[in-house]
Structure 1
Amino acid sequence: MKIKYLLLASVFSGQVAMAEDAPEPNPLTEVGVVKIEWQNPKEFRDIKTSTELQSRFEKRLFETLTKNINKQAEKSLKPGQTLHMQVTNLDLAGDMRPTFGATPGDLRIVKDLYPPRATFSFTVNEGDKVIISGDEKITDMSFMYNSHRFNDRPFQYETTLFTDWLQKSVEPKL
């Protein structure tokens, strides 16, 4: 009788272990002409939050960036063209610092020492035809010094990082 229960317990624990080992699907966001796959965000350099659940923060981050990138892409791309991106690394502007109990969570300190960065591959498609493709590693070292960037939009520095890339690197090639 004990062996029967041990066998059942081992079968159930094996199934639980297999379920935990299954990789989570990569988040995918799509707005307008932009589709972004966020590849393995748990390994991104710094997308930590201090005030909300990490999963909720990541969802809000990815959706906001996709929406903001789409605003620029609709201006930069020609009608019928789409932008597909696979983001492999993201580092938000600033750095998370512990408060040692002074506040409920850590604080993100934004200084010019910690610029926003991103690593990704992309394609600009027109129907099924690839117009432009490439791999990019972008950083905005002057993100703190551009006066038009001082506002209260969420993820303003990261949005500017991507929109500047679209304007300066993609738009001239179209």
Structure 2
Amino acid sequence: MNVKYLLLASALASQVVMAEDAPKPNPVTEVGLVKIEWQNPKDFRDIKTSNELQSRFENRLFETLTKNINKQAEKILKPGQTLQMTVTNLDLAGDMRPTFGATPGDLRIVKDLYPPRATFSYSISEADKVIVAGDEKITDMSFMYNSHRFNDRPFQYETTLFTDWLQKSIAPKL
């Protein structure tokens, strides 16, 4: 009788392990003119959270960045144009540091030594025709000294990183 229960328990446990090993689809966020695929976020350099569930933090991060990129894209793109991005790496401003029990979670220390970075490919389309495309690796080394540093919006440094890229690299091409 006990052997049946042990076999049943081990079969259920192996199914749970197999379900966890199944590859998860890449998250995709879409707001207005912008569609972003976040490719293998578990491999990103640093998108760790200090005080919430990692999956919830990632969803909030991806949605916020997509919304903020769309705000800038609406100012730059012409009617009928869309921006598609595939982000392959993201490194948030700052660095996670353990608190060794002083607080319930780690702390993100933001210093100019740890700038925000992103690696991605992009394409701008108009009527199903790609008009601009490329691969980018961007970093904002002066993120602590720009005029937005007193803004307390979530992911302000990363938003500025993408906004500056759109203004300086994409706007002149259109």
TM-score (norm 1): 0.92
Describe the SS at the equivalent of 2:161: helix
Tell me, which stretches of 5 or more residues in structure 1 are unaligned? none
Please identify runs of 4+ aligned residues in structure 1 that moved more than 4 A. 1-17
> Amino acid of the residue matched to residue 167 of structure 1?
Q
Which deviates more from structure 2 when the two are superposed, residues 157-166 or residues 18-27?
18-27
Q: Counterpart in 2 of 1:30? A: 30
Q: Counterpart in 2 of 1:122? A: 122
- Name the CA distance, whole Å, in 2 between partners of 1:84 and 1:157: 21
Structure 1 residues 31 and 102: alpha-carbon distance in aligned structure 2, compared to 1, 3 A threshold: same
- Name the CA distance, whole Å, in 1 between partners of 2:6 and 2:96: 46
Give 1:25 shift.
0.7
Q: Number of paired residues? A: 174
Structure 1 residues 6 and 151: alpha-carbon distance in aligned structure 2, compared to 1, 3 A threshold: closer
The 5-angstrom pairing of residues 8-47 of structure 1 reads: 15-47=15-47
Q: Counterpart in 1 of 2:138? A: 138
Q: Counterpart in 1 of 2:52? A: 52
1:59-100: CA deviation from partner (whole Å, max 9, x where unpaired): 000000000000000001000000000000000000000111
The 5-angstrom pairing of residues 25-174 of structure 1 reads: 25-174=25-174
Describe the SS at the equivalent of 2:141: coil
Structure 1 residues 35 and 104: alpha-carbon distance in aligned structure 2, compared to 1, 3 A threshold: same
Q: Does the 8 A contact of 2:148 with 2:156 survive in 1? A: no
1:102-146: CA deviation from partner (whole Å, max 9, x where unpaired): 111111000000000000000000021001010100000000011
Give 1:160 shift.
0.2
- Name the CA distance, whole Å, in 1 between partners of 2:169 and 2:113: 25
Which deviates more from structure 2 when the two are superposed, residues 19-28 or residues 105-114?
19-28
> Amino acid of the residue matched to residue 79 of structure 2?
P
CA RMSD of aligned residues (A): 1.9
Tell me, which stretches of 5 or more residues in structure 2 are unaligned? none
- Name the CA distance, whole Å, in 1 between partners of 2:169 and 2:82: 16
